[in-house]
Amino acid sequence: MKKHNFNAGPSILPRVAIENAAKAILDFEGIGLSLLEISHRTKDFEAVNDEAEALFRELLHIPDNYKVLFLGGGASTQFFEVPYNFLEKKAGYVNTGVWAKKAIKEAKLFGEVEVLASSEDKNFTYIPKGYAIPSDLDYLHITSNNTIYGTEYHTDIDSPVPLIADMSSDILSRPVDVSKYAMIYGGAQKNIGPAGVTFVIVREDALGKVSRPLPSMVDYRNHIASKSMFNTPPVFAIYVVKETLKWLKSIGGVPEIQKRNKAKADLLYAEIDRNPLFVGTAVKEDRSLMNVCFVMSEPYADLAPEFLEFAKGKGMVGIKGHRLVGGFRASIYNALPIESVQALVDCMREFEKIHAK
């Protein structure tokens, strides 16, 4: 049976990227060696790294004064690397869920942290707006897409202080005005690659403003100077990112994927809103185009385990909601085809026919 991969992360990748990665593991570019057994300092691999960076720059229109890095450690390492490099006295954070909270916790080790706004009062079902941003902050940190709660900023906000965003789960899903940010980072494994590589896009002149000594591996400037080769980078993961970005370019880049992502999200949210058995958890204006969270409506609450089984029987994978929200979460990242969303919608309709009172 065909599987429909709604996993939240690691998650679906374009088939062609996986096929090319499989080939590269067996014989990398016909050199008679596996991608897994060559030095990262060879011309062959440097070309991979350079192409991944070039594609990232092209697809996201990254200005020349920004550097692109591929690092290890996951987005969670950036939670402390960001304050290490940027927090001298005081930083502002917006608390929009679990990942934001973890970032806040780490930042507190380095200086004063002001939580400017939070949506915790309503279990993170919305994106706070209209709060003041003090001009004396070293930076403001936001989480652009809240993977667990299914909320997302749909525009790039204006900030009078350097803006830093965790875009782990919506990078390259929509156009972003990179010039509005001092730094953008994220784990690759939600939307642009496998687990193991973290992307960092940083404006070079925003660095070097803190007085504390930085461990070499933490200092972004070292990674910039050595073009992401300060130590051994996650070679295989970078290769798959390159292949994924090549695929994205081949289908028409970010404007095209945004169109497709909107169509997928519209289809699924329309069904959630129409079907009396289900109800969405996030407020409509902040609904994520990447992670669609919904639960059984009150009269049908008991049917949740049955729906999960039913959906599983139809090939749906990964739709169980995070334990903090419950219900269901369909992650509909870039590489997920609309046919899979249609299959989930059909499944919800069929379940309604069986159970609607």
Ligand X SMILES: *Cc1c(COP(=O)(O)O)cnc(C)c1O
Q: Is 166 a catalytic residue?
A: yes
Q: What is the DSSP string of 182-194?
A: SEEEEEGGGTTS-
Which position among 67, 170, 190, 264 bears the catalytic label?
A: 190
Q: Based on CB atoms, which residue is closest to ligand X, 190 or 287?
A: 190
State in angstroms the smallest separation of the CB of 151 from ligand X.
11
What is the closest distance, in whole angstroms, from the C-beta atom of residue 145 to ligand X in the complex? 6
The single residue among 33, 40, 51, 74 that binds ligand X, judged by CB under 6 A, is 74
Phi, psi of 344 (to 5 degrees): -70, -40
Binding-site sequence positions for pyridoxal 5'-phosphate = 75-76, 99, 147, 166, 189, 231-232
Binding residues: 41, 75-76, 99, 147, 166, 189, 231-232
- What is the size of the binding site for ligand X (CB under 6 A)? 12
Cα 220 to Cα 57: distance, rounded to the nearest angstrom: 18
76 contributes a contact to ligand X by CB under 6 A? yes
Give the per-residue contact string, 91-110, with ligand X (x = CB under 6 A; - = no).
--------x-----------
Which residue of 159, 168, 275, 340 would you call a contact of ligand X, by CB under 6 A? 168
AA identity, residue 309: E
Smallest gap, in angstroms, from Cβ of residue 347 to ligand X?
A: 25
Residues 267, 287 contacting (CB under 8 angstroms):
no
Token output for 345: 């919608």
279-293 burial, b at 16+ Cβ within 10 Å, e below that, comes to ebbbeeebbbbbbbb
Q: From residue 186 to residue 225, what is the string marking binding to ligand X with x (rule CB under 6 A)? A: -x--x-----------------------------------
Nearer to ligand X, 242 or 322 (CB): 322
**57 SS3 class:** helix
For ligand X, the binding residue among 147, 228, 331, 334 (CB under 6 A) is: 147
> In angstroms, rounded to a whole number, what is the distance separating the alpha carbons of residues 159 and 348?
41
Subset of 233-292 contacting ligand X (CB under 6 A): none
Q: What is 126-187 written as a DSSP string?
A: S---S----TT-SEEEEESEETTTTEE--SPPP-SS-EEEE-TTTTTSS---GGG-SEEEEE
CA distances from 198 to 16, 63, 86, 193, 327 (A): 21, 20, 18, 10, 29
Catalytic pick among 99, 138, 247, 286? 99
In this chain, which stretch among 114-122, 164-172, 299-307, 336-344 interacts with ligand X, using CB under 6 A? 164-172
- List residues binding ligand X (CB under 6 A): 9, 74-76, 99, 143, 147, 166, 168-169, 187, 190
